[in-house]
Amino acid sequence: MSLVTVNDLSFSYTGKPLIRNINLRLSAGEAVGILGINGAGKTTLFDLICQLRHPCGGEIINRSKHPTYLTQILTPPPQLKMCEVFELIMHLNAPAPMTLCTAQARLYTWSSALSNRYRAIAHKKAATCSYGEIRSFFTLTLLLIGSDLIMLDEPTAGVDPGFRHFIWLGIKKACAEGACVLVSSHYTEEIAANCNRFYMLAHQHLEAFTSGDQFLARYGANSLTDAFLNASLT
Amino acid sequence: MSTINEPNMPAARPIYRIATLLLKEHLREPSSLLWTAIAPSLLYFLMAPASAESENVRPYLSYAAWFYAYLSANVALFGFSFYLIGRRESGFVRSFIYKRASIRLFLSAHMLSYTALGMIYATAFYLMTKPLHGGYAYQEYLHILICFLASYMGFICLGLIIVALPIRFGTASTLFSLLSFLMLISSYRGASADHGQAGLFALVNPLQLSTLLFLNHNPPLQALLLIAPCALLAFYLIVKYFRIQPVWSRY
């Protein structure tokens, strides 16, 4: 049984259609990518799945018990340390509370270097953290808290290659533990390389792909970037 | 799927933990400490003692009432309400406080933390300024705290109306500043007008109304019992219709 099922979903902003009759299936244990240019409707789709917006047509069946959602633009309370922000997130969003020590210990099993970087950020004041540090910290935290559906809206944008590597590692680990991760990005290579399958959202429609090769063939391109451009702009 | 369970986490009292974190955050903000705690006390020291020497028969609250009213307005509008708009516009609410249970928990903790903060400010102001007019008095202090709570809740109602509006952070900042400025101007006009006109200004100026509440020598419990249900209703409505999406958002 699918964790999330989207049937013939349509949505418009003040009469201007953004997505039309789209279908989507998400199952436990898989990482699914959503590609699309800025303004294609990726964030709106995430909002719809989280019931932050209501569809104009179609239905969304969301069977997840503890969904979490990392939005694209997010500024933590600047006067708090990141470990205090972590505690806020635990109280407000986690299925069950977890201490920072446990989070670090779990990260240590993924990578000792990652655990050390995470700990270093945790003890910094949010106001002194870089955009990439904040983004990485939030993404990794949401991957650790035991949600069954994790929606990440462009988690690797503005993040250094080291943390990008670890974010994808975290996504794979969360999937291995049974979570479903839905992740949007502009980086086609990253999505094709790391997700079990992905969708392209363009011209109000969502098209499913199981591999990068299928995506290349569909749009008659030699590179994934060209395929993305062909899908979006033609 | 593994379940994470930590016996050493005080999960039974998340409301207190969140309230403590919010208090910490506020107390680390130097500008809010300056405008809410330090500036009113300094202004009081500059103004009240000279008056007290020349007219030392006037009681403490005849000098201090306006300052308490100002403190309650400041905590309710610039603290409680403005903070909610800030968290919404920063995207934090949309990411972490969009589920019904999270909204209830966060807003309850927020209400708790700012009520405690208001009481701390009122107490600190009393401890600092009262010695200029004699010794501390328990009944007077209790009277001030009840009046402060009633006044704070009244301003909470006003602040929650602004929180419910679809306005951006910058617009909210302008609106709160304008409101504060209008109340100050109106207070000044009320103070310099004759007795009949002063009553008229009090009717339209919440700050002046609040000042009168402190000056009333009767027990202020009636006012509190009248205002508290209004504040609780406003709080209930804001929990139910809490705006999650940032207003700056494209759509």
Q: Do B6 and A178 lie within an 8 Å CB cutoff? A: no
Per the prediction, chain B carries an average pLDDT of: 83
Partners of A70 in the β-ladder:
A152
Q: Do A102 and B6 lie within an 8 Å CB cutoff? A: yes
Query: Longest C-alpha distance within chain A, in Å?
Result: 51
**Which chain A residues are closer than 8 Å to B250 by Cβ?**
39
Residue B100 sits at the chain A interface (C-beta within 8 Å): no
Position B2 confidence tier, pLDDT thresholds 50, 70, 90:
very low
- State the pLDDT at residue B209: 85
CB pairs under 8 A between A and B: 101
Whether B56 has a pLDDT exceeding 60, the answer reads no
- State the pLDDT at residue B194: 61
CA-nearest residue to B108 within chain A is A92
Query: Longest C-alpha distance within chain B, in Å?
Result: 75
Residue A50 sits at the chain B interface (C-beta within 8 Å): yes
Residue A28 sits at the chain B interface (C-beta within 8 Å): yes
CA-nearest residue to A71 within chain B is B95
Position B7 confidence tier, pLDDT thresholds 50, 70, 90:
very low
- State the pLDDT at residue A157: 87
Q: Do A52 and B96 lie within an 8 Å CB cutoff? A: no
Residue B203 sits at the chain A interface (C-beta within 8 Å): no
Q: Do B96 and A80 lie within an 8 Å CB cutoff? A: no
Residue A146 sits at the chain B interface (C-beta within 8 Å): yes
- State the pLDDT at residue A175: 95
Whether A26 has a pLDDT exceeding 50, the answer reads yes
Identify the residue with better confidence: B170 or A182: A182
- A30/chain B closest Cα distance in angstroms: 13
Position B4 confidence tier, pLDDT thresholds 50, 70, 90:
very low
CA-nearest residue to A13 within chain B is B251
Q: Do B98 and A90 lie within an 8 Å CB cutoff? A: no
Structure confidence by residue, pLDDT tens digits, B119-146? 999 999 999 999 888 889 999 999 999 9
Residue B242 sits at the chain A interface (C-beta within 8 Å): no
CA-nearest residue to B32 within chain A is A79
Q: What is the CATH number of the domain that holds A167?
A: 3.40.50.300
User: Structure pTM?
Assistant: 0.88
CB atoms within 10 A of CB A8: 12
Structure confidence by residue, pLDDT tens digits, B97-107? 988 999 999 99
Residue A41 sits at the chain B interface (C-beta within 8 Å): no
* Residue from B26, B31, B98, B113 to probe the interface with A (highest A Cβ count within 10 Å): B98
- State the pLDDT at residue B186: 72
Find the domain containing A172 and state its range.
Answer: 4-233
Whether B46 has a pLDDT exceeding 50, the answer reads yes
Q: Do A138 and B24 lie within an 8 Å CB cutoff? A: no
Work out how many domains chain A is built from and give that number.
1
Alpha-carbon distance A75 to A67, whole Å? 20
Interface confidence, given as ipTM, is 0.88
Identify the residue with better confidence: B152 or B246: B152
**Which chain B residues are closer than 8 Å to A75 by Cβ?**
90-92
Position B241 confidence tier, pLDDT thresholds 50, 70, 90:
very high
Q: Do B1 and A70 lie within an 8 Å CB cutoff? A: no
Whether A164 has a pLDDT exceeding 60, the answer reads yes
Which of A75, A94, A97 is facing B92, going by the closest CB pair?
Answer: A75
Which of B4, B21, B94 is facing A96, going by the closest CB pair?
Answer: B4
Position B84 confidence tier, pLDDT thresholds 50, 70, 90:
very high
Scan for tokens 């009292």, then name that residue. Answer: B13
Once rounded to an integer, what is the mean pLDDT over residues B201-205? Answer: 70
